[in-house]
């Protein structure tokens, strides 16, 4: 019985010790990345930041592609894109964009179960270490079938 206890205790210690080092490594790498890129050097500019679909029928899926340009001094990486609702899905380029390069973020909106005026925002996490930024916005008025 004592042997089983010692084996379990040793296993717990090994598991705990291993998990801590990976977390510290990841934090150190993130810290280095943030120090090497000056947030002032990262910039994104949208050709159009808001799109109004006008009136759409309830249940309809609509999409719009927002053109943007890397107006910064370094490569632009969109690390993540999230929406203010599960009914809105952003699709963005995963590869880095060189300064001056342009690309598109497609926003797909599903109006199922919704009615009336709605506005949805997409937040972008860039490689500037500053968290999420407000990105493209879509609007529409949803009418019942």
Same-domain pairing of 74 and 138: yes
pLDDT, tens digit, for every residue of 95-127? Answer: 999 999 999 999 999 999 999 999 999 999 999
pLDDT, tens digit, for every residue of 6-59? Answer: 445 545 444 444 444 444 444 444 444 444 566 789 999 999 999 999 999 999
Same-domain pairing of 78 and 106: yes
**What is the domain range of residue 6?**
1-36
Tally of domains in the chain: 2
CATH code of the domain in which 82 resides: 2.60.40.10
Same-domain pairing of 89 and 64: yes
Indicate whether this model's pTM tops 0.85: no
Same-domain pairing of 125 and 56: yes
Same-domain pairing of 46 and 106: yes
Same-domain pairing of 46 and 26: no
Same-domain pairing of 86 and 61: yes
Same-domain pairing of 19 and 51: no
Single out the residue of 60, 51, 50, 49 nearest to residue 142, CA to CA. 60
Same-domain pairing of 21 and 84: no
Q: Distance (Å, rounded) from C-alpha 81 to C-alpha 61? A: 19
Same-domain pairing of 105 and 129: yes
Q: Distance (Å, rounded) from C-alpha 126 to C-alpha 50? A: 19
Beta carbons within 8 Å of 38's beta carbon, 6+ residues apart: none
Same-domain pairing of 28 and 56: no
Same-domain pairing of 31 and 53: no
């Amino acid at each position: 019985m004592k042997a089983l206890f010692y084996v379990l205790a040793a296993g717990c210690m090994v598991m705990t010790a291993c998990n801590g080092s990976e977390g510290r490594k990841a934090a150190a790498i993130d810290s280095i990345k943030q120090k090497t890129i000056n947030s002032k050097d990262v910039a994104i500019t949208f050709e159009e930041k808001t799109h109004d679909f006008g009136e759409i029928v309830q249940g309809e899926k609509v999409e719009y592609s927002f053109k943007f340009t890397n107006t910064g001094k370094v490569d632009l990486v969109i690390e993540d894109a999230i929406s203010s609702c599960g009914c809105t899905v952003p699709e963005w380029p995963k590869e880095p964009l060189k300064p001056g390069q342009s690309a598109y973020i497609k926003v797909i909106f599903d109006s199922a179960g919704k009615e009336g005026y709605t506005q949805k925002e997409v937040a972008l996490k860039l490689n500037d270490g500053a968290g999420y930024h407000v990105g493209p916005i879509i609007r529409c008025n949803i009418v019942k079938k």
